Amino acid sequence: MAKRYVLAFDTANEVIAIGLGELDGPSQTVVPVATVEVEARRASNTQLLPRIDELCREAKAAREDIASVCVGRGPGSFTGVRIAMACAKGIASALEVGLVGVSSLDAVAWGAWNAGERGRLLVLADAMRREVYPVEYRLGEDGAVRLTSDRVIKAEAFAEELGCAMGDSDSPRDDIATTGAPLHRGGLQSALSAADDSQPPCPDLLIAGDALRKYAELFEGAGVILPEALWTPTGSGLLLAFQAAWQAGECDPLNAVRHNPAFVLPVYTRLSDAEENERVRLAQADAALAGKRGSKHVTMNDTAIANARANGEGIAYKPLDARHVAEVAALESQIMGSDAWNEALVVDELGRADRVWWAAYAADPKMPLSAEAPLVGYAGGWVVDGDVQILKVGTDPAWRRHGIARVLLARVADDARNLGARTSSLEVRASNVGAQALYEALGYKSLGRRPRYYSDGEDAVIMEGPLPTITLAAVPNGEFVAAESSRDGACAAHGSGDRATEVVPCEGGAASGEGSDARRPLILAIESSCDETAAAVIDGEGALLSDVVASQVDFHARFGGVVPEIASRKHIESICGVCDDCLDRAAAALGRDGLRWRDLDAVAVTYAPGLVGALVVGVAFAKGAAWGADKPLIIVNHLEGHLYANKIGLPDFEPPAVVSLVSGGNTMLVYMADWGSYRVLGTTIDDAVGEAFDKVAKALGLGYPGGPVISKFAAEGDPEAIPFPRAMMHSGDLRFSLSGLKTAVVTYINGEREAGRELAVPDICASFEAAVVDVQVAKARTALQETGAPTFCLGGGVAANPMLRAAYEKMCAEEGVRLVMPPLASCGDNAGMIAEVALDRYRAGKFSTLDVDALAHGDLEQPY
């Protein structure tokens, strides 16, 4: 019988820790087989998988013998935690085994226990920003027991809590201040001076953790500092933490269903900077935030509201702000009776760092959320000791049965999770069976009653459960459906948008069962360069069997643009579900019951350019999946993907061609001599087109993303109403500049407001859009004339702009060149275009090694 192993690893800090252990089911123990710790020095993504592969090879442990994967969840470096997490999700998904998450700090504690340390242990992990993650443990003969929950605190503040801050006259630290020698065992100094005889304030306290590399002097008087080798997670510590969770019934490594990789998430303990700043701003009852009430369009200062958009139910969700407190109190009085909170109590909640409050507003799904939108629901929670206590959940009776309470609870839980919460608890009236049914559906269970808890003497039912989750909706890109075989051996791939229905040759029709070499190779491609998590499967004939996208736009809209930290977090949350959905849809297209990672011929992923934190998730996951499935890895340049997107709209398209690549981050003209052979003719010297659209939309208070909403208003306006400048129209080269145009538009908007005139939003949008299009078309015409290319193509999110597409159609007709445009659904970021590139790279044998990393920049002209 094959051995059953657990593979455990952690990259929460500068050290890669890996452990391989053999599982003993009857005794619920793990027998270490091999462990290794390696200094990564910000190179975890390049070293982790090669080290895992090497360890398994040396231990003669085959991939198929791995029964479970264990990963350190943090807290620690956000990027470091996500590297291990994404890699673990990829490996577990491909191996079809469970994924168990353990605390990185627990692994440190168990490592110290394994080294023979006993007593009270304080683990101090570096949280950056001069902060630490402090957790206390008791190390006894039976193991390590956690005594405190995860939290983040300034290093100096925590040192004061321990009574060992530098210069504290009341601290015993002064007894050894003249020596400068910390108390520790073999760590920072090999020889202790007279301080050896000094007693720290807590002589039985052991201290470890990588924060000591920065703050040893702050904590040297608090206890005994352990050797540096015990400051970070170890392979043995991870295996012991895993074993402890197994024996405590918190996990079952042999039950893959219970431990779906999608549900394991990092420990963060704080919100992103953007969210923290937003909370501070919204807690202030500043009338300027409200904008001009009664105005047809919200003002540029009203970003707290304007950037939210309603869902299909006509409901928009935003963190609660101080100006809506009166509405909360009024709704409280209506539905909570004598237990209602007044305005003062609600206002007091908003400014607290350990509170989370969300609200729901009724709104027009087609318009930005107005400052006049009525509040129809609210929910709040208090995060304490790893639990979020739901303080309030209220919904306007007229808006019930729209799922508002469920979404609000999920939003509160999402923020609470990022503040370190692991569970949720609440009280509900014993008579409120409807609410109890909702909570039970979310996983809450009754723990008992609190007699006469409410003001009228009614009992409260105490309920506790897991944190409700928010799942990004993964949808087929362009309403993609399974291909069906026709009599002449062609497959019709149906989508939305112009040119989106094409006939794709697929000799032999749909494959079935395990075989059909006619559809080989099968490649799954992943895209995560910005704020879309996407996956697609392509077959050997170039037919996209599935193309799935999960957009994060709702999570970024309230900030007026993409927040890199939030994007990275959402990619981690959604990547498993997106890939699972993608495989299921591809299986349906093939006429199979299922498609597994091991059935693929390769795994592809966008590696550059883009947001590094976002790219890292996709790259680490793809590498893990490729290793787990034992398949080749293919890396793809994101910009090249946009060029290949034109094949999705017209499969017989071939270079040479001039391509206009316009998106939120790029504006360039490219001469495509052949697939893989590109020359950049000109690019923007400042803002990209998509960025300019977003900034103008923000100035008008129209929300995010700016492109679609500006196009909507522009369709009703006069493009000649305002003479905005055409920057670099006659520069003599093919470069672009959007910054001056953006500034001119914003200046015009501010001037109209100062003059007290109502903004002619349609005319502003139409005139701005015309200025952008005129320059883009003029430069494109010049590029075609200079190169003599017979074809002109588009790529990038802005390529979906109707005015731009119409102008290019007219220009190409005048120049006598062929126009090829990708389907509307394939203009933005998607994995279908990455899959198209990957297929050519597969045929050319251009595979990547497992030490490849994500890159913020990627030169389109350079082979890779």
Give the residue ranges of the annotated binding site for Fe cation.
Answer: 638, 642, 829
Q: Report helix, strand or coil for 800.
A: helix
- Which residues 6+ apart lie within 8 Å of 828 measured at CB? 532, 663, 796, 797, 800
The single residue listed with the structure tokens 């394939």 is 826
20, 7 contact by CB (below 8 A)? yes
Q: Tell me the binding residues.
A: 638, 642, 661-665, 694, 707, 801, 829
- Which residues 6+ apart lie within 8 Å of 528 measured at CB? 534, 571, 575, 605, 606, 610, 614, 615, 617, 618
Q: Tell me the binding residues for substrate.
A: 661-665, 694, 707, 801
10 Å Cβ neighbour count for 31? Answer: 12
How distant is the alpha carbon of residue 623 from its chain centre? 18
The single residue listed with the structure tokens 């009338």 is 287
Amino acid sitting at position 598: R
Cα distance between residue 63 and residue 124, in whole Å: 35
Cα distance between residue 380 and residue 344, in whole Å: 15
10 Å Cβ neighbour count for 753? Answer: 14
How distant is the alpha carbon of residue 853 from its chain centre? 18
707, 801 contact by CB (below 8 A)? yes
Q: Report helix, strand or coil for 522.
A: coil
Angle between helices 564-590 and 273-282 (to 10 degrees): 120
Answer whether the bond into residue 75 is a cis peptide, omega within 30°: yes
- Which residues 6+ apart lie within 8 Å of 62 measured at CB? 2, 56
Answer whether the bond into residue 201 is a cis peptide, omega within 30°: no
14, 210 contact by CB (below 8 A)? yes
Cα distance between residue 795 and residue 799, in whole Å: 6
Amino acid sitting at position 547: D
How distant is the alpha carbon of residue 833 from its chain centre? 21
Max CA distance (Å), the chain: 92
The single residue listed with the structure tokens 């206390």 is 136
